[in-house]
Amino acid sequence: MTKMPTPGAPPSPGHDGRPGRPVGLRDVARMAGVSTATVSRVLNTPERVSATLRERVAAASARLGWVPDGTARALATRRTGAVGAVFPTLSHGDFARAAEALQGELRSRGYTLLLACSHYDLAQEHLLVRQFVERGVDAVVLVGNAHDPQTIGLLDRLSVPYVKTFNYDPEWRHHCVGPDNRRAMHGLTRYLLRLGHRRFGVIAQSAHNNDRAAARLQGVRDALSEMGLSVRPQHLVEGRWTIAEGRALFRKIIEKKPWPTAVICGNAYLAVGAVLEATARGIALPGEMSIVGYDDVEIMQELPVPITTLRIRSDEVGRLAADYVVATLAGKQPSTELECEVEIMERSSSGPVPRASRRESVPRRAKGADAGRR
């Protein structure tokens, strides 16, 4: 025995948990009097091991308090059982819930979630994905359809499966699960059109690096243009998605008359802000104006004026995403159900276009100027 630190064959056949070296599969094997292969088998394919040995190994394993080393297994298996997800942020309840559901579903299938936030920055996202890939994730979950081409390239080159979430796009069909933002907003707009509204305001989320926001806006535009309508520039405002921002943007919209009779918000918090600002100013909802949002959060139905909005089951998105990647990893065809239902939650903040939507315009012009127009 020279001065070898740890090299050479592992002598010292200590048979109990010595504090020195952590216990490994080999220690278990030795204590159970079997080969390492057998120990490995009781772990992975117990049915191929005789009951006797199985128990001997289990006992030894328990006595030694052995915790299998995942990294070693991953190296040998070429699978980590980990899935990486990059969300823009978790401050948004929607993403938080989706993340939670994603994690839960993945876990129940034996996978672990690696989570990171890109803060709506595609370069950052790329770095994170790269980090995930280096860590050996089996699959990746992304939000939205807009990504750095390099990101997708990397994933493709290494053939790492991935899903894009929160913006189902029928054009691409594959690789994406979630609500169809455009179609959802299209439907909500049509709902307002059916109520007779013709003059619309839009409080949109900034579409910078946010294809979901862009798709929503497109949905509104499409629905309107089908009726030969469009949003007046001064009635289209955009910004971040806080309540305070919603208030400020709403103020901008009503800066001067004529006001829109319906204001569509691209996000729950923006809608909450708009409604709070409107009621604070004594604007009757839906008497004088209708305000609707996208996405449902609890506060929306608890406010003095409950807010009409689209309910997106964001936890469903998380589950679908988990489903998708797990199926793909198992070599199966992912469920065909990739699009996620949305539902209009009709509440008190919206209603028929005010009959008296004529008493507008700054210098009280002729009434009914463009009320029931078209």
Partner DNA sequence: TGATTATGTGAAACCGCTTACGTCGCCGTG
Partner DNA sequence: CACGGCGACGTAAGCGGTTTCACATAATCA
> Using CB under 8 A as the criterion, which residues of the chain lie in contact with its own copies when the complex forms?
22, 65, 67-72, 74-75, 80-82, 89-91, 93, 96-97, 99-100, 103-104, 107, 112-117, 128, 130-136, 154, 157-158, 242-244, 247, 269, 272-273, 276, 279-280, 298-299, 302-304
Quote the CA–CA distance of 271 and 160 in Å, as a whole number: 38
Minimum CB separation from its own copies for residue 248, in Å?
11
Quote the CA–CA distance of 307 and 271 in Å, as a whole number: 8
Q: Which does 369 bind (CB under 5 to 8 A by kind): DNA, its own copies, none?
A: none
Q: Give the nearer residue to DNA in terms of CB position, either 75 or 244.
A: 75
**Residues forming a β-bridge with 257:** none
Contacting residues toward DNA, per CB under 7 A: 4-10, 21-22, 24-26, 33-41, 43-44, 48-50, 52-53, 66, 68-69, 72-73, 75-78
Token output for 83: 């899935």
Q: Give the nearer residue to DNA in terms of CB position, either 48 or 208.
A: 48
Choose among 330, 3, 287, 66: nearest CA to 322: 330
Token output for 300: 């929306």
Q: What is the number of other CB atoms lying within 10 angstroms of the CB of residue 70?
A: 13
Q: Give the nearer residue to DNA in terms of CB position, either 53 or 90.
A: 53
Q: Which does 113 bind (CB under 5 to 8 A by kind): DNA, its own copies, none?
A: its own copies
DSSP state for residue 9 in the 8-state scheme: S
Q: Which does 117 bind (CB under 5 to 8 A by kind): DNA, its own copies, none?
A: its own copies
Burial 194-219 (b: 16+ CB within 10 A, else e): ebbbbbbbbbbbebebbbbbbbbbbb
Minimum CB separation from DNA for residue 313, in Å?
37
Quote the CA–CA distance of 122 and 63 in Å, as a whole number: 49
DSSP state for residue 238 in the 8-state scheme: E
Q: Which does 5 bind (CB under 5 to 8 A by kind): its own copies, DNA, none?
A: DNA
Minimum CB separation from DNA for residue 112, in Å?
15
Q: Which does 41 bind (CB under 5 to 8 A by kind): DNA, its own copies, none?
A: DNA
Minimum CB separation from its own copies for residue 107, in Å?
6
Q: Which does 282 bind (CB under 5 to 8 A by kind): DNA, its own copies, none?
A: none
Q: Give the nearer residue to DNA in terms of CB position, either 5 or 149.
A: 5
Distance between start and end Cα atoms, the chain: 98
Minimum CB separation from its own copies for residue 301, in Å?
9
Q: Give the nearer residue to DNA in terms of CB position, either 68 or 93.
A: 68
Q: Give the nearer residue to DNA in terms of CB position, either 25 or 203.
A: 25
Minimum CB separation from its own copies for residue 214, in Å?
24
Q: Give the nearer residue to DNA in terms of CB position, either 65 or 304.
A: 65
Q: Using DSSP bridges, classify how beta strands 112-117 and 82-87 pair: parallel, antiparallel or unpaired.
A: parallel
Order of all β-strands in the sheet with 236-239: 236-239, 200-205, 262-265, 290-294, 308-312, 342-345
Minimum CB separation from DNA for residue 266, in Å?
44
Please state, in angstroms and as integers, the Cα–Cα distance from residue 114 to each residue in 59, 93, 96, 154, 361, following that order.
33, 19, 14, 18, 55
